[in-house]
Structure 1
Amino acid sequence: MSPSFLETTWTDPVTGTKGYVVLDTLVRGLASGGLRLRKGCTLEEVRGLAQGMTRKEGLVYDPADNYLPLGGGKGGIDIDPGDPQAVDVLRRFLAAVLPVVKEQWNTGEDFGLRQETLDKVAAELGLASTVEAVFATLPDAPAARDRLAKAFAVDVDGVSLGDLVGGYGVAQAGIAYVERLGLIPSETTAVVQGFGSIGGAAARYLAKAGVRVIAVADRDGLIRNDAALDVEALLAARDGLGVIDRSALRPTDSTAPTEAWLDVPCDLVVPAAMSYVITAEDAARVGARVVVEGANMPTLADAEAALLTRGIPVLPDFLANVMTNAWWWWVVFGDIAPTAESSFAKIDTVMRRLVDTVATDAETRGVTLRSSALALAGRNSAAVQARVGITG
């Protein structure tokens, strides 16, 4: 792996909290990737996330789109998002790395950080948005700003469109893959770990497709109903951190400790919260036929190897959860209208193409889904570099 273009470690002068920015690659001087708040976040973690963003950007490249992929970047702060000092630490962090945000790093919400909080802090620092570096390169920047604002203003059944597209893509990835296994949604069961933007939306759209979502886990525990959970009721009962009010549960819903999500027999399991949640020791407990990585880096490499020996494929994160990032840029570059209909139609088309391309190649060459997706991302990234005149 080649070295990153930029790695920055920041120490908060007030609390001593560490924060990190890694720009893995630049294309046209730009990188894209979110900012997370997580207690225990490390430079190594952010480096891996930034590498994943490079892959995501390359994976969705289509020469027919106006959107020409960017490089990959990521940020992280080692703090619990529920810490009373979290927003103040975030403000000082962004102030310290502001030149990078203005010129190169286009960022947005990630684990532990809502976009509205990020936008508010950015505005306090004089930024009109957290993607100003891209807007500075666009001849139609005012129209692009307007499209993005309209897209984020769209409400779909009580949830912002921007909070749905990533999880919608995860759901479509899982459905597309199980259909290749000969299953139809009404015959499929799913367990979702995490009930924030990605996990909540994944659960919603799996259920809308007819999949029985039989368990979801948040940080307060597991909620299970083998006949199917009422996902919409659970969404209405969650707070801003994705924690479900247990008073909204039905008498037929049961609860268990959070870690029990790995043990529930199902067709699809969707880790959609934190990184590193499936370890080699956990692999033997996984009761699913397929792992669909809704979170970034949830499965450790030795765990994935152990799952594969049991015949359990892993649909990798940089494919399954690519749509949050892609959606932003499709809107900004004008490839889709700022509507739910246009957004979901584009995601449907692209995700099915990606899953089918990767799965067919993996089957033909006898390699893992991850290896196939990595190869596709590499080929596409090389095509982008050639298009913009980068060699080597």
Structure 2
Amino acid sequence: MTSPFLSLTWTDHLTGRQGFLVVDRLVRGVCSGGLRMRPGCTLEEVTGLARGMSLKEALHYDPEARYVPLGGAKGGIDCDPRDPQAYGLLVRYLRAMRPYVESCWTTGEDLGLTQELVDRAVAEVGLVSCVQAVHPLLDDEDAARARLAAAFAVEVDGIGLDELVGGCGVAESVLTALDRAKVAHAGTRVALQGFGTMGGATARFLTRAGLTVVAVADVKGTVANPAGLDVESLLAARDAHGAVDRGALRPGDRELPDDAWLSTEAEVLVPAAVSYAIGVEEQGRIRARWIAEAANMPVVAEAEALLHARGVSVLPDVVVNSGTNAWWWWTLFGDIGADAEEAFAHTRRSMRSLVERVLTRAEADGTTPRAAAHAIARQRLPVITDRFGTHRRD
């Protein structure tokens, strides 16, 4: 594995807390990757996430599309997003990273941050946009920015389109795996860790596809009901960080310990919160047949090897949660418009095609889905570099 193009650590002069930026690679001088905020965030973590972004971009490469894959990057801040000092820290971090946001790094919300918060901090710093580095690559910048702004203004049943497309991609990944295995949607049970942007949207799409969500874990613990949770009621009872108001629970809903979601009787587990959630010890408690990585890097490598050996299929993050990033660029470059149904249809087609390709490759090679996805991406990365180069051609 090659070293990243750029790796830096920033120390806040007021709090002593650290932030990180890793640019794994550039395509036409630009890279893409969100900004996360969580206590304990490390440079090693951000480096792995940046590499994952390069793979996600490569996996969505379509030579006929307007969207041109970018390089991979990631930002991270070591702070609890609930800390009263968090917003000021975010602003100072972005002020320090301003030269990179202006020139090469396009970013957005990730774990611990909302797009609204990122946009507010970006404006306070004096930046045009969190994705302004890509503007010179657009055919019509004004039209593209207007299209993306209009897309972010779209809501479906009270939830923004920008939150929903990622969950649509996760759900389609799960449904594709079920369909390949000829497992009916109805009666298939799902347990989720995390009920924020990605977890909540995933729960909605899977429920509407006929699956039953039997457990949801948030910062307060796990809420479970073997007969199925009322997902829409729980979505309406969330706070800004995805924690569910327990006053919204029904008589049959039970409150269980934080890690109870791991051993829930369910066919599908969706870790949609933190990285490294499933280690060697945790994997031994899992009874599910599929794990869909809605979060970034939730299953450690040693645990994945043990899961694979006993027939549990891990659908990897570089595929499963790549829909949000792709939707930004499909919209900005003009492959789709600011319309929910068009966005969902395009996401479903693209994710189903990608998951089918990955699972077919894994079966043919006798490897894990992650190994297959990485193999496909490695084949595409040099093709992208040969076609577009690493530096912007002015």
> Considering the TM-score relative to the shorter chain, is it more than 0.5?
yes
* Aligned match of 2:47: 47
Taking the TM superposition and a 5 Å limit, the aligned residue runs for 1:318-333 are: 318-333=318-333
Q: Moved runs in structure 1, 4+ residues, more than 6 A?
A: none
Runs of 5+ unmatched residues, structure 1? none
SS of the residue corresponding to residue 289 of structure 2 reads strand
SS of the residue corresponding to residue 74 of structure 2 reads strand
Q: Does 1:267 align with 2:267?
A: yes
Q: With structure 1 as the length reference, what TM-score do the two structures score?
A: 0.98
Q: Could you report, residue by residue, the CA deviation over 1:154-195 in whole angstroms, capped at 9, with x for unpaired residues?
A: 001000000111111101101111111111211311111100
* Aligned match of 2:70: 70
* Aligned match of 2:131: 131
> 1:382 Cα deviation (Å)?
2.0
CA distance in 1, matches of 2:66, 2:6: 27
CA distance in 2, matches of 1:249, 1:139: 50
Q: Could you report, residue by residue, the CA deviation over 1:103-128 in whole angstroms, capped at 9, with x for unpaired residues?
A: 00000000000000110111111122
Q: Does 1:14 align with 2:17?
A: no
* Aligned match of 2:206: 206
CA contact (8 A) 2:18 2:78 kept: yes
SS of the residue corresponding to residue 215 of structure 1 reads strand
CA distance in 2, matches of 1:299, 1:139: 40
CA distance in 1, matches of 2:23, 2:295: 20
Larger displacement relative to structure 2 (135-144 or 286-295): 135-144
Residue 375 of structure 2 aligns to which amino acid in structure 1? A
Larger displacement relative to structure 2 (33-42 or 360-369): 360-369
* Aligned match of 1:116: 116
Aligned length: 391
CA distance in 1, matches of 2:389, 2:214: 50
Larger displacement relative to structure 2 (69-78 or 380-389): 380-389
* Aligned match of 2:229: 229
Q: Does 1:4 align with 2:4?
A: yes
Taking the TM superposition and a 5 Å limit, the aligned residue runs for 1:1-392 are: 1-389=1-389
Residue 236 of structure 2 aligns to which amino acid in structure 1? A
SS of the residue corresponding to residue 191 of structure 1 reads strand
Q: Could you report, residue by residue, the CA deviation over 1:47-82 in whole angstroms, capped at 9, with x for unpaired residues?
A: 000000000000011111100100000000000000
CA distance in 1, matches of 2:389, 2:303: 39
CA contact (8 A) 2:27 2:389 kept: no
CA distance in 2, matches of 1:339, 1:154: 7
> 1:390 Cα deviation (Å)?
6.0
Residue 208 of structure 2 aligns to which amino acid in structure 1? K
SS of the residue corresponding to residue 280 of structure 2 reads coil
SS of the residue corresponding to residue 285 of structure 1 reads coil
CA distance in 2, matches of 1:320, 1:138: 27
CA distance in 1, matches of 2:306, 2:17: 36
CA distance in 1, matches of 2:369, 2:113: 30
Q: Could you report, residue by residue, the CA deviation over 1:330-383 in whole angstroms, capped at 9, with x for unpaired residues?
A: 000000111111100111101110111111111112111111100111122222
What is the percent sequence identity of the aligned residues?
Answer: 53
Q: With structure 2 as the length reference, what TM-score do the two structures score?
A: 0.98
Residue 128 of structure 2 aligns to which amino acid in structure 1? A
The change in CA–CA distance for 1:171 and 1:286 in structure 2 (over 3 A counts) is: same
CA distance in 1, matches of 2:112, 2:138: 30
CA distance in 2, matches of 1:15, 1:59: 39
> 1:137 Cα deviation (Å)?
2.5
CA distance in 2, matches of 1:8, 1:390: 20
Q: Could you report, residue by residue, the CA deviation over 1:231-281 in whole angstroms, capped at 9, with x for unpaired residues?
A: 000000000000000000000111101111101021110000000000011
Q: Could you report, residue by residue, the CA deviation over 1:262-309 in whole angstroms, capped at 9, with x for unpaired residues?
A: 010211100000000000111110121111000000000000011111
Aligned-residue Cα RMSD (Å) equals 1.0
Q: Could you report, residue by residue, the CA deviation over 1:186-205 in whole angstroms, capped at 9, with x for unpaired residues?
A: 13111111000000000010
The change in CA–CA distance for 1:42 and 1:387 in structure 2 (over 3 A counts) is: same
SS of the residue corresponding to residue 341 of structure 1 reads helix
> 1:39 Cα deviation (Å)?
0.1
Larger displacement relative to structure 2 (132-141 or 265-274): 132-141
CA distance in 1, matches of 2:127, 2:167: 28
Residue 252 of structure 2 aligns to which amino acid in structure 1? T
